[in-house]
Structure 1
């Protein structure tokens, strides 16, 4: 039976939520279902959303983020599946009004999806009354398609970020952070220490790629820090393919987030054989085992120690990369993710209201 599904997510193309909802849509569409991707911001009220569902004869709603999509899902009369995004249960819960909205959405949804054990624990602590069989763990899949036309070295040279005479990426070491510029990603966390390191070793660079999401944070905190820091380079959001190419060309991917659900950028780097240096927070620890599938750090000082360590031990780097790739291949497969959502859709629709 061909179903009509609404897939709710912030639709900023460089965002992890967009990548996740796009994969789910692609899988369900390939199996004959009609998927309509919508941004929750497009609807002014729950009643407008309900009218849209009726007009489109929607069978099921799948939404990412317990607050952003939850604002609509909380009162939906159409069966729904709510996917927790990370910032909802790690950050938004601190606002009592947002927590109230998320609680209504969680209660109204047929199922709640989490990406990993740490997110499951967060959900259980916020909503202990929710039956455990209502919460389903579906690990994020990862698909990487680096652009063949984008070269990080040429980009940095043509924009005068590095000396024009730099002949090869072998002459510089690029640590790359990928993520939207906003407080929770904490892109300034390593800037001072990295700039100090660059002054000692001019071949080391810190490159940050990501769209401006929080304009106030960008203008008051992030950009002033970047402008005054040597060796720190900011690149506004690139296409997914060009971002993957930049990952391919860098020495290591960096994550400095204050909290994470499951970082898609970390998964993408692991899939492409790029070592990950990630801040020691629960979501990252679901993916990265220190010195086994990546490196973890708590402070900027520890970051530099870990970075120097992997630079000086190529054999350790190769072992970490191999184990990380094997982990992604085993647990973050596109077909497995798609099959899990397909099964959950069928189950959600087979249950009485």
Structure 2
């Protein structure tokens, strides 16, 4: 089957990495996956023309608003993969919320990476400013250095040389950085928000903090307790193996694509 796959493909971002991983899964099953950057298109009519030109039989989008809105009204069946921003931020904006609900009504399936993301979607249906704020705070913080985007191999090498990975996000869907750290056997300290708490169990697969004071306390504890560090690392590695298996993920996407094939045959 020839499949159009829309995603935001800015280099070295979580969306781009996820999209490439999914593409590999689909092509391993024998499908032709045409991956395109959603930001290159303005309207569903452009996508309709692309589908005709590329002779695509079905479509897939990563991110319910950024990609999904471009698939509305298509003559081919399509599925959706939730991102993080769509469920955490876009859902709070009236017009975007409405559009996303309409997209879900047309989609043949929707993929959520965690139970909390799934629950959020059920409850709701069935960012340059923030970036500037973060950069300003980093510049004022002693001992903190901001790094630019890195290729995945370089990033993994840097993470392996770190004592721990900290996720201080105030909004997350599913943090690929946390899962990568667990898989690389590096301890994780993460802000206690729903997206992080969905994949980090406190004192089991990582440490969750609610404020700066608690972060300092937990960081000092991790540094001074090798047994805790060893346990967290082992449990985190096992969690990723069991719940975020690369092979299971591949099998799931291939099974979902068979649903789209079934729609074509029907």
Query: TM-score of the superposition, structure 2-length normalised?
Result: 0.95
Tell me what 1:24 maps to: 22
Unaligned runs of 5+ in 2: none
In the TM superposition, what is the alpha-carbon distance from 1:42 to its structure 2 partner?
Answer: 1.1
For residues 229 and 240 of structure 1, the distance between their equivalents in structure 2, rounded to whole angstroms, comes to 26
Tell me what 1:110 maps to: 108
Tell me what 1:323 maps to: 235
In the TM superposition, what is the alpha-carbon distance from 1:31 to its structure 2 partner?
Answer: 2.6
Match status 1:256 vs 2:144: no
Residues 251-296 of structure 1: CA deviation (Å, up to 9, x unaligned): 1111111121111000000001001001111111111100000000
In the TM superposition, what is the alpha-carbon distance from 1:312 to its structure 2 partner?
Answer: 0.6
Tell me what 1:174 maps to: none
Tell me what 1:333 maps to: 245
Tell me what 1:48 maps to: 46
Unaligned runs of 5+ in 1: 129-181, 183-213
1:245 is aligned, of 147, 157, 163, to 157
User: Contact conserved, 1:93 with 1:99, CA < 8 A, in 2?
Assistant: yes
Aligned length: 265
User: Contact conserved, 1:74 with 1:106, CA < 8 A, in 2?
Assistant: no
In the TM superposition, what is the alpha-carbon distance from 1:235 to its structure 2 partner?
Answer: 1.1
Match status 1:351 vs 2:263: yes
Tell me what 1:64 maps to: 62
In the TM superposition, what is the alpha-carbon distance from 1:105 to its structure 2 partner?
Answer: 0.9
Match status 1:274 vs 2:186: yes
Residues 218-276 of structure 1: CA deviation (Å, up to 9, x unaligned): 44x23332223220111111111111111111111111111211110000000010010
Query: TM-score of the superposition, structure 1-length normalised?
Result: 0.72
Structure 2 SS opposite 1:233: coil
Alignment map for 1:137-286 (pairs within 5 Å): 214=128, 216-219=129-132, 221-286=133-198
User: Contact conserved, 1:260 with 1:283, CA < 8 A, in 2?
Assistant: yes
2:89 is aligned, of 73, 91, 105, to 91
Tell me what 2:76 maps to: 78
Residues 126-178 of structure 1: CA deviation (Å, up to 9, x unaligned): 113xxxxxxxxxxxxxxxxxxxxxxxxxxxxxxxxxxxxxxxxxxxxxxxxxx
User: Contact conserved, 2:47 with 2:71, CA < 8 A, in 1?
Assistant: no
In the TM superposition, what is the alpha-carbon distance from 1:45 to its structure 2 partner?
Answer: 1.6
User: Contact conserved, 1:81 with 1:112, CA < 8 A, in 2?
Assistant: yes
Structure 2 SS opposite 1:234: coil
Structure 2 SS opposite 1:277: strand
Tell me what 1:307 maps to: 219
In the TM superposition, what is the alpha-carbon distance from 1:15 to its structure 2 partner?
Answer: 1.2
Structure 1 SS opposite 2:33: strand
Structure 2 SS opposite 1:258: coil
In the TM superposition, what is the alpha-carbon distance from 1:30 to its structure 2 partner?
Answer: 2.3
User: Contact conserved, 1:85 with 1:261, CA < 8 A, in 2?
Assistant: yes
The structure where helix makes up a greater share of residues is 2
In the TM superposition, what is the alpha-carbon distance from 1:44 to its structure 2 partner?
Answer: 2.3
Q: CA RMSD in A?
A: 1.4
For residues 327 and 319 of structure 1, the distance between their equivalents in structure 2, rounded to whole angstroms, comes to 12
Larger radius of gyration: 1
In the TM superposition, what is the alpha-carbon distance from 1:106 to its structure 2 partner?
Answer: 0.7
Tell me what 1:170 maps to: none
User: Contact conserved, 2:77 with 2:108, CA < 8 A, in 1?
Assistant: yes
Residues 158-216 of structure 1: CA deviation (Å, up to 9, x unaligned): xxxxxxxxxxxxxxxxxxxxxxxx5xxxxxxxxxxxxxxxxxxxxxxxxxxxxxxx3x5
Structure-2 change in CA distance of 1:90 and 1:313 (3 Å): same
For residues 211 and 115 of structure 2, the distance between their equivalents in structure 1, rounded to whole angstroms, comes to 24
